Amino acid sequence: MKDSILNVSKAFDLLFHDDLNGARVLLQQQTQSDQPYHHVALALITFIEAVLSMEEQMIAKALESLLKSEEAVKQAKNALVSTGSTDSNQAIAQHWWIPGLEYDILLADLMIFQAILHFLAETISDGMKGIYKITKAYKIFSSSHQAVFSELQATNPISSLTSHADEEPGIEPFQATIQALYAKPKPHPSTLMGSSYFSGFSLSLYKRKKPGPGPSEGATPKYKAWTDDPIASLVIGGAAFGYGLFGLILSFLPPKVKKLLSWVGLNGPNTIDRTETILERNRCLRWLNFSHASCHWEMHGKLASLALLTYRSAMLKAVGWLAARDRSLQAYETLVDSLSHKTPTIEESEQGALWILHRSKLLVMKGQAEDAKRLISTRLHPTPHPNEPKNSSSLPPKFQHAVGLLYYEYALICVRLADWSSAGEAFLSMKKENAWSHVTYQFAALGCFLLVENRTEKLQKKIDDLFVELPNLFSKKKTLGREMPPHELLVTRKLAEYKAKHADLVLKGSIRTDRAECYWDSIQISPIEELGLLMAIYDESPKTTLISGIRRLSGLSPPVELDPKAIPADKTVDQVEKKEEDPGLSEEEKLSRLKLNDSRKQKDKEAAVISLSKEEQCMRDLLLAVQFLNLGQFDQSRQFLNNILRTNPSSSSTPQEPSQPDSLGGNMDYNYISAMICKALVELNELDRLLLAGSSAALSSADQPGQPPLDQNISIAEKLVDGKAPLNALTPHAKSADKDEQQRFVDLCFSKLRGADSILNSILELPESYPMRGRTESKIQLLKDEINEKIDSLNILFKLNPAK
């Protein structure tokens, strides 16, 4: 069994470094009828291929492979029942669970993978199959977790977690505790019941062993440490992984969804007490960290690593604001580092696609988007070594579907950097890499191409052809009773809006007759600008990109006046005119540039004729608000948010809590919901600025003890928001510090948190339906969890009563 686990570990290392064929060959060479572990690993590789490709044939093949593996595991378990032992009595002498638990954990793994593939099919029948499989897997993991760790609860630092910290303290002592239990003499193992798999899943399934002679009276233990014991590593690592994974997922779900799932047996933490939910989430993170750190050579340790990477890179990033961003970033960086080849001779471009993907995400989060772009570009377009033949490559064999993830991430980075041509080409490349939604990829690519300034005739021809082709790319499959997937419904709705507006402009004579059918000429707000809201593009965009986007949007008709202090004047036109007057240019070059400039001015003149509709003006206000928010211009952001919130005639919103609209048609306007969330984010980001200013004041007070007195007419808090407060204003050691002013600062910090929480609560209480309500409520609940964590940390920082 140990050789089997080691071979699977080697196969996963090959997979993580793009050698898919090598991993498959290694497992196929070692596969035997009595080694179901290999079958599970092979099925998992096929599953990963299917998820990345999203092709129906690959999904069907993966499901078939998973079902065959399930049969192999069941046969191995039945063989164990008939023989009454595993590899040897010595191998199981130190286990405190009944033999065969390892096979149930493998079955639960396979059920999770099957459920995911069923859910990807997006049909009602497949959805029911997925719920059935995931429920069985959940019950197995819950029972196995109890059987393995129930005796360790009193000395278990993971289960006894009572703080919001989600790092890894206590893992090493816990490993030692498990080792101490592993080394103790155990009763003789009881006989495994052959019907246990089919008789329901509860703790009785893995009942305690019957009293009997310990190993000191019988066989000598085969392994001294549990980490060397392959079955113990599988069971302990698998139980920790499964429990942590399910608990983490359940903690993200809103109470209504969790209540619904409880009817089928998926019982997560307390659905009302969010504090307990947060604690349970952090416990689950620790269980995953434990599996990753303790069983890194076993398959479940590697799966735990993938789960943690997904959580850090996607789930938390999607929230929009974190109570402890630096801590999460550090934890993510540690995980990314663990993926890399440690050989000094291996360059970044030679690392696996998985490492490059997450390394680039990390660089973007750190504000190094250019470095992230370079990293992925080097991997996608490697420069051959001069001494190598043209057909050779220094890179390992490519895992093609993993490369597709790199193209997608590359496209997002190019959007952040306003490299529209490269972004558009990258989105089009996604059509070759997987079959998820070609119409969505092409729609995003067209949005990028439409933002290219001074488009050439070749690019315009390409845009025309791609828009003509777009309707033919829609999926023909009906999903969950819908005509098409939700992302394609969004594209359909936007195309209908574009066509209606263009037809109106044609009737008014605002469009050239030869372009009467080209509805895309009337698009003013690019599709990629709107999709950027869903993709969280603006959160980590450079200031230059945000400023250029604000200038472009504000210049659309009717134009928006901007505060010159917030956005500096655009000098691009002046620079172009100066270049045109360059005396070193030839007459032909001057004439060419003059024609180009005249063409640009003519296009601008034509574009100015097309005014934004009311709906488009609302979207522009939302885009401007989000971009001003990420620039740190909070007052400007509020100004545009209030424009959106005032569109509701019954609105009587206050700065802290917008009122609930009576009705906004059949479905509430999603822009309204987004504006309310953005307004909460403004409050939270202002809090971060306050605390940063306060931290800077405390750090500098020791170096500058003598500061000029405060202006008595303006409070410290107000000055901090404006960045004008003296550096020692908040320092308790400063002689001139005013306790009343400090209290006002503390009150302002908590008012920001309470204000944001109040806005989010008002959204949750809305009776009307609106698009993507389930996803929105999940995001809101996560954001509220972050707010609660911040309140706790501020209580500690300010040394206040937690009831503050």
One-letter-per-residue 3-state SS of 79-107:
HHHHHCCCCCHHHHCCCCCCCCHHHHHHH
pLDDT at 370 (0 to 100): 97
Cα–Cα distance for residue pair 27/12, rounded to 1 Å = 10
DSSP state of 455: -
Least confident among 273-287, 538-552, 573-587: 573-587
* Cβ atoms of 116 and 130 closer than 8 Å: yes
pLDDT at 555 (0 to 100): 92
Q: Would residue 519 count as lying in a domain? A: no
Judge whether residue 109 has pLDDT over 90: yes
694, two tokens: 């306060």
pLDDT at 487 (0 to 100): 83
What mean pLDDT is predicted for residues 33-46? 82
pLDDT at 297 (0 to 100): 83
Which of 300, 315, 330 corresponds to the end of one domain? 315
Which of 258, 282, 315 corresponds to the end of one domain? 315
pLDDT averaged over the chain? 79
Q: Would residue 404 count as lying in a domain? A: no
Q: How many domains does the chain have?
A: 2
385: left (phi over 0), alpha (psi -120 to 50) or beta: beta
pLDDT at 31 (0 to 100): 52
Q: Would residue 409 count as lying in a domain? A: no
Write down the residue that tokens 């090493």 correspond to.
172
What mean pLDDT is predicted for residues 572-596? 52
Higher local confidence (pLDDT), 59 or 30: 59
Which of 315, 348, 373 corresponds to the end of one domain? 315
Judge whether residue 764 has pLDDT over 60: yes
Q: Would residue 533 count as lying in a domain? A: no
Least confident among 300-309, 356-365, 700-709, 783-792: 700-709
- What pLDDT digit, counting tens, does each position of 752-761 carry? 999 999 999 9
Cα–Cα distance for residue pair 318/234, rounded to 1 Å = 33
Q: Would residue 166 count as lying in a domain? A: yes
Name the nearest CA neighbour of 639 among 686, 612, 678, 689. Answer: 678
- What pLDDT digit, counting tens, does each position of 186-225 carry? 655 544 444 444 334 444 445 444 444 444 444 566 788 8
Cis bond upstream, residue 485 (ω within 30):
no
Cα–Cα distance for residue pair 547/420, rounded to 1 Å = 15
Least confident among 42-46, 307-311, 390-394, 502-506: 390-394
pLDDT at 736 (0 to 100): 45
What mean pLDDT is predicted for residues 730-740? 54
- What pLDDT digit, counting tens, does each position of 64-88 carry? 999 999 999 998 888 877 765 544 4
pLDDT at 338 (0 to 100): 87
What mean pLDDT is predicted for residues 619-648? 93
pLDDT at 95 (0 to 100): 83
Q: Which amino acid is at 734?
A: A
pLDDT at 54 (0 to 100): 82
Helix (H), strand (E), coil (C) string for 362-427: HHHHCCCHHHHHHHHHHHHCCCCCCCCCCCCCCCCCCCHHHHHHHHHHHHHHHHHCCCHHHHHHHH
Structural domain including 679 reads 660-804
Judge whether residue 785 has pLDDT over 80: yes
Q: Would residue 118 count as lying in a domain? A: yes
Cα–Cα distance for residue pair 742/733, rounded to 1 Å = 12
pLDDT band, very low/low/confident/very high, at 751 (cuts 50, 70, 90): very high
pLDDT at 195 (0 to 100): 40
Higher local confidence (pLDDT), 575 or 662: 575
* Cβ atoms of 657 and 759 closer than 8 Å: yes
Q: Would residue 724 count as lying in a domain? A: yes
Cα–Cα distance for residue pair 105/237, rounded to 1 Å = 10
pLDDT at 496 (0 to 100): 95
Q: Would residue 506 count as lying in a domain? A: no
In terms of C-beta density within 10 A (0-12 exposed, 13-18 middle, 19 or more buried), how is residue 10 classed? middle
Cα–Cα distance for residue pair 499/539, rounded to 1 Å = 31
pLDDT at 548 (0 to 100): 95
* Cβ atoms of 405 and 397 closer than 8 Å: no
Judge whether residue 168 has pLDDT over 70: no
